[in-house]
Structure 1
Amino acid sequence: MDVPTVGVEEEYLLVDRGTRAPVNRGRQVIATAARELGELVQSEFYDAQVEVCTRPTADFADLRGQLSLLRETTTRAARASGCLLVASGVPVIAPLEPLTVTDDERYLRMARRSAHLIDGFTAVCGCHIHVGTLDRPRALALASHMRPWLPVLQSLTGNSPLMGGRDTGHDSWRSVVFSCWPTVGPPPVVDEAHYLAHVDGLVAAGVLLDRRMLYWYARPSEHVPTLEIRVSDVNADLDTVILTAALVRGLAAVLLRDVDAGVPPPKAPPYRLWGAHALAAQSGLDGPGADPCTGRRLPAELLVERLMDRAAPGLAAAGDLDMARTLWDGLRRRGTGASRQRAVLARTGSLTAVVDRLAVAPVDVPLPC
């Protein structure tokens, strides 16, 4: 079995060390971090955000090492600008100043064209997993086969229950906020010709600026030869990131055999896919999930076990099966990022304490009894 490469992109918030509220200091932080990281650290839509990108690798020890270095270097750069680097899907504490759009020609065009969306919109931070190397036809075919599994991956990674000081009632409020943008949602089953006609038609109609503005939950990347999985909140817990990437890569290895054998993708009606994603965003691992193929509601943890079983041959082929099982057992014990945010708030009554626990390099502060 071929073992795909994997890469990770993480988006972070910059918050002031005093107020713990988002601040527009991305330009300074990126300039400092880029002295060591070069193009691996980049701007995001808002000045209060920073993105880091690993290089593709087939080895998860290397992936963990890359992410650790990216986080450490960017954290130092943030500290030099009086910031904490925070891994949360949305801001826990509301901004005390307006969030400014990054001074980038493409982002500014997006903001002008979508001003009705920007008004009241907040920064959202995700974690994107790339698997490759895949040309566009193969990436689209793999996306069609992965569609039913994407809500399960989403349920593992919810890390945005609190926004602006209130509990949203969702594990991943980022998913809800981001869904206001055009094309956010499950990928359709399309071949390359239909993909090009569909996306280029949206660009010609002015719905999208370009193909890079396509926000399907699984999409062929337009700048590297990969399939990009876009369902996860960013997580401070590195084990959660590694587990998600391992499951994506293991599942991709298994499903690519079906793609190459000409096996049709599973039938999952769009309304069931949307419903499964809505449940994953709301309940994470703590409530029911849904099988998009049958419509049955099942415990979310059972759906993860099914995903683990389906991905097991691919995980084993890469030597990752024991690691993935260990990380999954650990996540079940600790809870998702969302459940840990709520636990800190219940224990301390402090939003500041929640933000500190979400810092990529956690802040060591004494907690009230």
Structure 2
Amino acid sequence: MSPTASTPITADHQGAARTHAAPRADVPGGGEVLTMGVEEEFLLVDRHTRAPVGRGPRVIEAASRTLGPLVQPEFFTAQVEVCTTPTTSPAALRAQLAGLRAELVGAAAGEGCLLLAAGTTVIRPERALTVTRDARYRSIASHVAPILGNYDRVVCGCHVHVGVSSRAEALDLANRMRPWLPSLQALAANSPFDRGRDTGYASWRAVEHARWPTVGPAPVLDEAAYERVADALVRSGAVLDRRMIYWFARPSEHVPTLEIRVADVNARIDTVVLLAVLVRGLAATLRAEAAEGRPAPDLEFARLSEAHRRAAVHGLDGEGLDPVSGAGAAAWDLITRLRAEAAPGLAAAGDLSLADALLDRVRTEGGGSAQQRAAHRRRGRLSDVVDGLAEAVSTA
């Protein structure tokens, strides 16, 4: 089934799907299941050189004949983005992701490209990349020119949306999710290579993305404080508008969703589905805690930042940091705690066994960064890394 058979949406040029994703009461017994949706940013590389190429406009033109507004431009012409429609079903989400990817893989092949799901460019571009010819992107490029340098630092993320009842609820959930986002970041780490070198990080995208204004943990805000802070950021010139507020968790400016922005794009669809159900499970659990009057955790910003730094460096293969206690812990121990926190919400949606099965698969096969490095170790060729990523993204 084509993804466009689902609820129609429109999309802005910052990739945020404008879709009504409010909670739906469709759990047996009358409970609510939050809707979820995903945005994926992909890289286009030449099929021969495996280097990034700016053929995005032609690929989007071809794919849009089937996908319509579900396929969009991104900041660089070497990128494309797709967004799903809202759903309460992990199976439906997976089917949408598979359909969107299949259309893009075909459109990319028609332009002599491979479609990659990696947080950064594995092989260095052969020439400076170009910014998409869109008035907004051009304005952003001028605004952040001192940061972007020679336009060869591409980052590709995976953003998960969950439906909420209001902006106030989105902000409250963002406040409550802060301790758990480093573990989600570690789970999704998929950018160890950047422009021809092993960076030593599991997620180098986290480093490159952090050069952009406002990228980082969201401050603790209620709705009134959000309005003041957002207005101040725009007035000061730190951002052009509110759509340039790139916090790790942010309310949509257009529709009632909370957007989680810590993840690298991942080649395996099952990892993307896992991220979505974990985010939704956390949101459902935390909504219940809010209804009970439990306060959001009070975290030291430096400690939270260090937890994100360790997640970027080690991914799933080293020691992370519990941002609540400040104690070091193995990344998988922190993932286990995240799963336990999300368990009530996962169970309420019927997702607990699915989440456990997908977590077991990642534990057995390794995360995205580990798989990229394993592909490189076999023959020492970065082209093998690219080919493995291209094959994985085309496999449902």
* TMscore range, shorter length: over 0.9
> For 2:347 and 2:392, how far apart are their aligned partners in 1?
32
Q: Bigger shift: 63-72 or 110-119?
A: 110-119
- Aligned to 1:7, what secondary structure does the other structure show? strand
Distance 1:262 1:117 in 2: 42
Equivalent residue letter for 1:144: N
Deviation at 1:223, TM superposition (A): 2.4
Query: Contact 1:43 / 1:50 at 8 angstroms: preserved in 2?
Result: yes
2:105 corresponds to which of 71, 75, 80: 75
- 3-state SS, counterpart of residue 303 of structure 1: helix
For the pair 1:12 / 2:25, whether they are aligned, the reply is no
Identify the match of residue 335 of structure 2 among 300, 304, 314: 304
Where do residues 264-303 of structure 1 align in structure 2 (5 Å cutoff)? 264-303=295-334
- Pick from 40, 55, 58: which aligns with 2:85? 55
Q: CA RMSD in A?
A: 1.2
Matched residue of 1:85: which SS?
A: strand
CA distance in 1, matches of 2:170, 2:343: 21
Which of 119, 128, 131 aligns to 1:98? It is: 128
CA distance in 2, matches of 1:266, 1:161: 32
How far apart are residue 209 of structure 1 and its match?
A: 0.8
Match of 1:325 in 2: 356
- Alignment-derived partner of residue 229 in structure 1: 260
Q: Counterparts of 2:162 and 2:307 in 1: how far apart (Å)? A: 23
Which of 245, 248, 252 is the matching residue for 2:283?
252
Equivalent position SS for 2:122: coil
Aligned length: 364
Q: Deviations over 1:171-216 (max 9, x none)?
A: 0000000101111111111111111111111111111111110010
In the other structure, the counterpart of 1:140 is 171
Q: Give the letter for the 2:185 counterpart.
A: Q
**2:390 alignment counterpart:** 359
In structure 2, which of residues 148, 154, 159 is the aligned counterpart of residue 118 of structure 1? Answer: 148
SS of the residue corresponding to residue 130 of structure 2 reads coil
Which structure 1 residue ranges, 4+ long, deviate > 4 Å from structure 2? 360-364
Q: What residue is the counterpart of 2:25 in the other structure?
A: none
Task: Report the Cα offset of residue 261 of structure 1.
Answer: 3.1
Q: Distance in 2 between matches of 1:244 and 1:259?
A: 22
Is structure 2 residue 195 aligned with structure 1 residue 192?
no
- Secondary structure of 1:23 counterpart: coil
- Pick one of 21, 30, 52 that aligns with 1:22: 52
SS at match of 1:256: helix
The letter for the 1-side match of 2:316 is L
Of the candidates 358, 376, 388, which is equivalent to residue 345 of structure 1? 376
Q: 2:180, 2:169 → 1: CA distance?
A: 18
Provide the rounded CA distance (Å) in 2 between the counterparts of 1:198 and 1:105.
Answer: 26
The letter of the residue matching 2:181 is L
1:103 is aligned with what amino acid?
Answer: R
Q: Which whole-Å CA distance do the structure 2 matches of 1:120 and 1:161 have between them?
A: 21
Unaligned 5+ residue runs, structure 2? 1-30
8 Å Cα contact 1:273-1:292 kept in structure 2: yes
The TM-score normalised by the length of structure 1 is: 0.97
Percent identical among aligned pairs is 56
In the other structure, the counterpart of 1:367 is none
